[in-house]
Amino acid sequence: MNRLVVVSNRVADVQRSTQAGGLAVGLADSLRQRGGVWMGWDGQTLKYEEEPEPRIRKIGAVTQATIPLTEQDYAEYYLGFSNSVLWPLFHYRLDLVEYKTAFLEGYRRVNAKFANALVSILQPEDVIWIHDYHLIPLAAELRQRGCKQRIGFFLHIPFPPPEILAAVPRHRWLVESLLEFDVIGFQTNTDLGNLQHYVEDHLGTEITEGRIKVGEREVIAGCFPIGIDVDAFVEMAERPNDEVQIETHRREILGRRQIIGVDRLDYTKGLPDRLRAFARLLELYPEMRKSVALMQIATPTREEVEAYVDIRKELEALSGAINGRFADFNWTPVRYIHGTVPRDALAALYRASQVGFVTPLRDGMNLVAKEYVAAQSPENPGVLVLSKFAGAAEDLHEALIVNPYDVDDMARNLCRALTMPLEERQERHKALMERIRKHDAKHWLDTFMAALEKGEIKNAA
């Protein structure tokens, strides 16, 4: 087997039990199994004139290679082009895009730095797998440095339709950079279709049976839905967790149900309307008052970008307002936790919740939806209420699918989930388990690697 070299903006600790962020979770699961090298930014910003050599550290089967960035890199490449241009744009939020020419320059500069660091550690037989929107120009940079290895790219977030993509200056350059990879992977058929439309409209070419002709080369473009390590998650959810159990018993004695939401605190996750939908449930169905609570766990993220400060304030105000309006001395309707929960406690919390409420306005896949399903007991499973704009909705048909912009629709479906007969819950859960097992972390890795190493396109979707 060829050595696998994974590259992403940040390198996560593959053995850590607390991790918030889908890329870290998905990749750590996959790399732990296969081993290899993981290269990325070490999270530090330093002053330096000459680019430092990558720092190498071995953790189990995985060798980490990391580099620091400068303050300017961080501001322009990370906060700037990656998270103030590409992130909102790829999530269809043109209103939040803040573009500056310096951001694009920083983006190109840091991609060149990544390429310099990588060529110093690459071996001829390696296969390279690059992740996410921060590193779209990296294949082109590597090719310029004479790199001959096969290079794949996976986009964890949505790929927008051409009319939206065209709002970013140099969009054609961005897509042409993408076409420098040997394999381009997306989460869903919708994303793949959007690339198809772009290459037809702007480049006068097309994707035929998963392949695009680019000069003499042939590029594979496919759909590779990311998944979780289902068995590991089931096992974690079944393991007793004392603190969660005490809390669950208390709720059971009082006959109260719990709806759970778990997200990075991001404006794409639809959190304000999720809270409004919960309030609407209490309004429309007064019998639900005191018999259900919403636990929302939201990990802080990218707090230096203004849009993230705004969303935090909005949520704090909203949860306060809902509690102010509905709470009683012995019942708090919304429990809003601004923090990260260890993965084993998270699994136990999912299992102890009767509804998993996942309502992004736009999401590449959404692993929380899959984790919630995996954590349920087959005898008495909870119900997943899922946004139609999460990539996961392309596959998880047996969830209750909702429109995250329609507060009434979400409230009605919450009520339906909370009153669903046991038999229907069991049937839906069984079907959903089959789906998340079919498209699990290993399947994602295997199908992508088959395309990258052997040029094979299995029907990944």
What's the CA dihedral at 260, 156, 121, 68 to 10 degrees?
-60
Cβ nearer to ligand ADQ, comparing 199 with 402? 402
197 belongs to the catalytic site: no
Say whether 156 is catalytic. yes
Residue 440 sits in the site that holds ligand ADQ (CB under 6 A): no
**In the complex with ligand ADQ, which residue's Cβ is closer, 271 or 418?**
271
* Residue 146-185 contact track with ligand ADQ, rule CB under 6 A, x = bound: ----------xx----------------------------
Cα-based distances in Å from 352 to 52, 77, 198, 261, 355: 48, 41, 44, 12, 9
As a whole number of angstroms, the distance between CA 90 and CA 183 comes to 20
158: helix, strand or coil: coil
Q: What is the DSSP string of 83-137?
A: IIIIHHHHTT-GGG----HHHHHHHHHHHHHHHHHHHHH--TT-EEEEESGGGTT
- The minimum distance between CB 368 and ligand ADQ, in angstroms, equals 4
Indicate which single residue of 7, 8, 12, 22 sits in contact with ligand ADQ (rule: CB under 6 A): 22
Counting contacts by CB under 6 A, is residue 191 touching ligand ADQ? no
Exactly one of 110, 297, 373, 374 binds ligand ADQ (CB under 6 A); which one?
297
Q: Is 25 in the site for ligand ADQ (CB under 6 A)?
A: yes
Mapped onto helix, strand or coil, the DSSP state of residue 360 is coil
* Interaction pattern, residues 223-242, with ligand ADQ; x per rule: CB under 6 A: ---x----------------
Stretch near ligand ADQ under the rule CB under 6 A, chosen from 30-38, 115-123, 238-246, 256-264: 256-264
368 touches ligand ADQ (CB under 6 A): yes
Please tell me whether residue 23 binds ligand ADQ under the rule CB under 6 A: yes
Compute the least distance from the CB of residue 240 to ligand ADQ, in Å. 19
Rounded CA-CA distance 202/379 in Å is 52
Q: Are 404 and 274 in contact (CB under 8 A)?
A: yes
Phi, psi of 438, deg, nearest 5: -65, -45
Number of residues engaging ligand ADQ in binding (CB under 6 A):
26
Answer yes or no whether residue 262 interacts with ligand ADQ by CB under 6 A. Answer: yes
In angstroms, give the least distance from the CB of 439 to ligand ADQ.
12
Q: Any idea which residue has 């065209």 for tokens?
A: 166
Neighbour-count burial of 87, counting CB atoms closer than 10 A to its CB (0-12 exposed, 13-18 middle, 19+ buried) = buried
Which residues of the shown chain bind ligand ADQ in the complex (CB under 6 A)? Answer: 20-23, 25-26, 156-157, 226, 262-264, 297-299, 340-341, 346, 363-368, 371, 391
Give catalytic residue positions.
156, 363
